Amino acid sequence: MKTTLCFVLAALCLTGRSGVFEKPAPYGENARASESDASLRKPGGPAKGFEDEGEPPVSEPTPGHQDAPTDFDIKASRSKETAEAVETGNFDEFSNVEFDIVKAAEEAGNAPLKKDGEPVNEFEDNDKSSSSEPAPNNKDISAAVDFKELDGLPSTKKGWYFNRNKTNDPPSAQTEIDLREYDAYYLGDANKKEVYLTFDEGYENGYTSAILDVLKEKKVPAAFFVTKSYIKENVELIKRMKNEGHIAGNHSVSHKSFPTLSPENIVSELERTAKAYKEATGEDMPPFFRPPMGEYSVKSLAATKAAGYKTIFWSYAYQDWLVNQQPGKEKALKVFKDNLHNGGVILLHAVSKSNAEALSEMIDYAHELGYKFKGLDALD
């Protein structure tokens, strides 16, 4: 099992699922954002996705860039580090991209179980309508979107990455696409001691209520990126998020790789999730989107913007999604302390017991250093 897991994760890393990037910006232990990077409020890259029913699709390998001779070495190193971290429980290394939680858990024999003993499908959608057809309720958005213009944009799939450092500086990130053009962000104001706390929610593992309790006690706002199935199955939690001042952001219906979808289907994914939110709360869904698996293209970013959404990447993440291989509270807290930085957009998975246990002390530590937690609506 360990050999198989190592091979699978290494393969995923090389295809972009591990957050390894196609064409890296300057990379190194002491990498820090340049002045131009720090002044940008929207540096970054887009998203990934899943099936309405069944297993998430496997991405095809992305051809390497001949003009980036260090790319192979970085990818090979990242593949080895990621596989070893999961196999040995060494969680010092980060995942730079939102990982396919359920798939990873299944490969490791850690799939979370439903009450009937069946593995959870994080992206199960009881709505049998195909995501290949535009949703009947998205006519207003569709009318405002120029799909013909979007069809002519580049659709090359990319995987989100950032360049971590050991100096608590805002990390640099991909430079191929100017995120400002597409209302996309991975970092807030790099000159201010402000951070943005975000959680990804594909399925409920029993910790979201406790997370909300801590946020309420500490008076800290957060964003929860939720799928349509999560909304349908956890209506009371969604209402609580809204009522307590948090953002429930859009994480799509089927968690498919958005660069593989047509602009019409992208709008459908966003609209159907937003419809579920409105049915649950009576209000419109906040216009923030996190790309499934951190995959994106110029076309998918442009389509998301045309649909009225801001795309939210991240400048902090670590391997917290394997529910039966948790790093523990102290490790989670140490990683947070070692990587806290100005303008940070923090990605945590709410399925993590370690995150739930460490969250209160994470917040206290940030406050002690003078950091303020801001809502995503403060990004500009």
CATH code linked to domain 2-378: 3.20.20.370
133-146 mean pLDDT: 60
pLDDT digits (tens, 9 = 90+) for 291-312: 999 999 999 999 999 999 999 9
**Which residues face 249 on adjacent strands?**
225
Beta bridge partners, 333, equal: none
Q: Find out whether 157 and 257 touch, Cβ atoms under 8 Å.
A: yes
Q: Which of 200, 246, 320, 341 is catalytic?
A: 200
Q: Does the pLDDT at position 27 exceed 60?
A: no
Q: What whole-number distance in Å separates Cα of residue 93 and Cα of residue 113?
A: 27
Q: How far apart, in whole angstroms, are the C-alpha atoms of residue 284 and residue 266?
A: 18
| Cα–Cα distance for residue pair 346/153, rounded to 1 Å | 30
Active site residue 349: yes
- Which position among 251, 255, 341, 349 bears the catalytic label? 349
pLDDT tens track for 29-60:
222 222 222 222 333 333 322 223 322 333 33
Q: What pLDDT does 306 receive?
A: 97
User: CA Rg, the chain, in Å?
Assistant: 19
The question of whether 200 is a catalytic residue gets the answer yes
Helices (H), 108-234: 139-144, 147-151, 208-218, 228-233
